[in-house]
Amino acid sequence: MTSSTAERYPLVRYFFHLHRIKGWPYVVSWAHRISGVLLAGYLLFHVTTLASLRNPAAFENKMQTFAALFPIYVEWLLAVPVIFHALNGGRLLLYEVFGNRRDRLVLNWVMVLSGCYLLLLGIFMALGNQQVSPVFFWSYLALSSVLFTYMTITRLRISGASKGWKLQRISAAFLLLMIPAHMLFMHLDPALGRDAQVIIARMNNGFIKLVDLLLLIGVMFHAAYGVRGIFLDYLASPRARTVCTGVIVLVSLYFTWQGVQMIVSI
Amino acid sequence: MKTSYDLTLNIRRYDPYQNRTWVQTYQLEAGRIMRFVDLFRKINDEQDATLAWGSSCEHGQCGSCSVRINGKPMLACELLVENAVNEFGSTTFFIEPLPVASVVRDLVIDTDQAYARIDQVKPYIISPRQPAADGEAHQISPEELDRYVDATRCINCFCCSAACIASHDTFLGPNAMLAAIVRVMDPREDEKQQRLETIYSENGVYRCHSSQACSFVCPKEIDVAHFMALAKQGAITSS
């Protein structure tokens, strides 16, 4: 589809207009923000769904709903904001923390790699027969993520920014590989994500528990700080800002506690 | 090559006495190298003397003629008709005042209100560093100057603020931040702490999301987002 053909559609035309008047990074910033809000909403739903793992029969009953073709397609669609938000977050880290100024090139790579990931995930979801050792898979991914997180922490030492802002970047560095990997892992084989006994057996491993806990805490903090940032962009009154921060902290603490209880009790 | 264009200017107007906003359409023929300030003047002379707009130097140095043309913040004194037709692919233009302060009338905004944000960061040297010896002028090495000289070219036209993804109610704005960053990077200034507190405040750098629209629209071609990123990275205090 050429750009002139694409511009027949109002939404696409609007995006092209925004690109013309404010540049691609601006359009991508909006996409990053919208995908972030979508993922924060999905995160709460995901934790609620997984909390029912304490009752395996009820969990499997719920999972039956997601075994049909349309929900699987929706799950694949969910990978669009996941991979885009992760890789574009990586681009922002390179720009803001690592001083990269070849941003246009990185932006192109974000698009190319997002496409590759979606294709790969789609193939694995269609095959649904891949075998992988969870400990090997997560050891490799966790090591890479810890390494990148450490590099980010090192770079952020001289920044005068607040601890919250720095933690947002540090959690982003940790989640950059972990979240897309989590999604990929869960779709290598339908049993990995839907069979309660398989999930419980995997989560009985101490290392997997640790990875899941870090993932939960990291993603909850990242989502809460990100959503708070959006509200603070629009709320000028200090009182409204305090109330908003309080509500976000309470909601995220509640869902974190739900998740931690589920991971620890299995 | 066309020597003139038949243009349609849809201009957002505001009458403060009746508190009424409306869009008025003007049709006019214009030469290809006429600037948008020339179009406004032509409207005043030939069609409607009541259209209010602002300008001062009309050489891209004062920033007082900034308006939004088809959504893009631009200096009306720098934009030629032919360039506008090529850039937007149209001879119809929607012209609005910048959304960074309340509108006084038509395309004129309250610059005192807009400048209040710049005033907050004190865009001047508060505590001059003493030169090495009495009677000597303070010298800045070319290497030191290279780090921030681009940022000193800001004319406070507020195009960057108007383009920014962050809200104008909460963010001091890219140009105010730039003014603060320049003084932190300036070796002649001893007082850094006040500026750093402003930069790392809730209305400061945290409201910047690196959308880089500021750099994209800057009429002086300053990479504003680069300086904002330096501030986030902590790379402005090394000198």
> CB distance B202–A29 less than 8 Å?
no
Q: Which residue of B has its CA nearest to A163?
A: B200
| Domain coverage including residue B120 | 111-233
Q: Residue B136 corresponds to which tokens in the numbers above?
A: 């000597």
**Closest residue to B167, CB basis, from A20, A99, A234:** A234
Instruction: Please indicate, yes or no, if residue B238 is contained in any of the structural domains.
Output: no
Total tally of structural domains belonging to chain B: 2
- Tens-place pLDDT, residues A56-105: 888 888 787 777 888 889 989 999 999 999 999 999 999 999 999 999 99
Segment B176-232, tens digit of pLDDT: 999 999 999 999 999 999 999 999 998 999 999 999 999 999 999 999 999 999 999
Whether residue A191 is predicted with pLDDT greater than 80 in this model: the reply is: no
Is residue B231 within 8 A of residue B199, CB to CB? The reply is yes
**Residue A266: pLDDT over 90:** no
Q: Which residue of A has its CA nearest to B72?
A: A21
Which residues on B lie below 8 Å from A233 (Cβ)? 166-167, 170-171, 207
B132 and B215 within one domain: yes
**Secondary structure (3-state) at A129:** coil
The answer on B74 and B40 residing in a single domain is: yes
Give the burial class of B189: count Cβ atoms within 10 A of its Cβ; 0-12 exposed, 13-18 middle, 19 or more buried: middle
Residue A23 near chain B (CB below 8 Å): yes
Check whether residue B96 and residue B116 sit in a common domain. Answer: no
- When scoring A13, A29, A107 by the number of chain B Cβ atoms within 10 A, the one with the most, hence best to mutate, is A29
Interfacial A residues in 143-172 facing B (CB < 8 Å): 155-162, 165
> What pLDDT score does A200 carry?
87
Mean pLDDT value across residues A243-258: 97
pLDDT, one tens digit per residue, over A80-90 is 999 999 999 99
Is residue B212 a part of any domain in this protein? Answer: yes
Total number of domains in chain A:
1
Question: Rounded to whole angstroms, what are the CA distances from A60 to A10, A42, A54, A131, A198?
Answer: 42, 19, 11, 21, 11
Q: Is residue B67 part of a domain?
A: yes
Claim to verify: residue B87 and residue B117 sit in the same structural domain: no
Q: Does one domain contain both B126 and B224?
A: yes
Option in A26, A30, A229 nearest B212 (CB): A26
Give counts: helices (H), strands (E), chain A.
Answer: 12, 0
Residue B238, pLDDT score = 59
pLDDT band at B39; cut points 50, 70, 90: very high
Position A6 confidence tier, pLDDT thresholds 50, 70, 90 = low
- DSSP secondary structure of A167-226: HHHHHHHHHHHHHHHHHHHHTSSHHHHH-HHHHHHHHTSHHHHHHHHHHHHHHHHHHHHH
Contact at CB, B170 and A97, closer than 8 angstroms: no
Q: Cα Rg for chain B, rounded, in angstroms?
A: 20
Bridge partners of residue B6, in order along the sequence:
B29
- How far is Cα B61 from Cα B239, in angstroms, rounded to an integer? 29
Q: How far apart are CA A199 and CA A186, in angstroms?
A: 10
CB pair distance less than 8 Å for A241 and B202: yes
Are residues B226 and B168 part of one domain? yes
| CATH code of residue B35 | 3.10.20.30
Shared-domain flag, residues B41 and B132: no
Question: What is the residue-averaged pLDDT of chain B?
Answer: 94
- pLDDT exceeds 70 at position B239: no
Judge if B123 and B104 occupy the same domain: no
Judgement on whether residues B43 and B115 belong to the same structural domain of the protein: no
Report CB contact under 8 Å: A101, B209.
no
Q: How confident is the model at residue A34 (pLDDT cuts 50, 70, 90)?
A: very high
Residues of B in contact with A17 (CB under 8 A): 70-71
For A124-150, what is the mean pLDDT? 91
B11 occurs within a structural domain = yes
Query: In this prediction, what percent of chain A has a pLDDT beyond 90?
Result: 70
Residue B209 in any domain: the answer is yes
Residue B131: the pLDDT is: 81
For residue B120, is it within any domain?
Answer: yes
Q: Tell me whether residues B216 and A23 touch, CB distance under 8 A.
A: yes
- For residue B239, being part of any structural domain is answered with no
Do B187 and B96 have their domain in common?
A: no
Tell me, what CATH number does B140's domain have?
Answer: 1.10.1060.10
Amino acid B136: pLDDT = 81
Coil vs helix vs strand at B21: strand
Residue A3's pLDDT is 57
Element (H, E) at A105: helix A103-127
Helices (H) and strands (E) in chain B, counts: 9, 7
Note if the pTM is more than 0.80.
yes
3-class state of residue A29 by DSSP? helix
CB-side exposure of B42: number of CA atoms within 13 Å? 14
Report which of B7, B57, B66, B59 is spatially closest to residue B32, judged by C-alpha positions.
B7
Report the residue of chain B nearest A168, measured CA to CA.
Answer: B206
Do residue B224 and residue B207 come from a single domain?
A: yes
Domain ranges, residue A138: 3-265
User: For position A105, which CATH number holds?
Assistant: 1.20.1300
Distance from CA of A21 to the nearest CA of B (A): 5
Same domain, B52 and B138: no
Average model confidence (pLDDT) for chain A?
Answer: 91
What is the structure's pLDDT at A194?
78
Pair A190, A63: CB distance under 8 Å: no
Structure confidence at residue B61 (pLDDT) = 95
CA distance B135 to chain A (A): 35
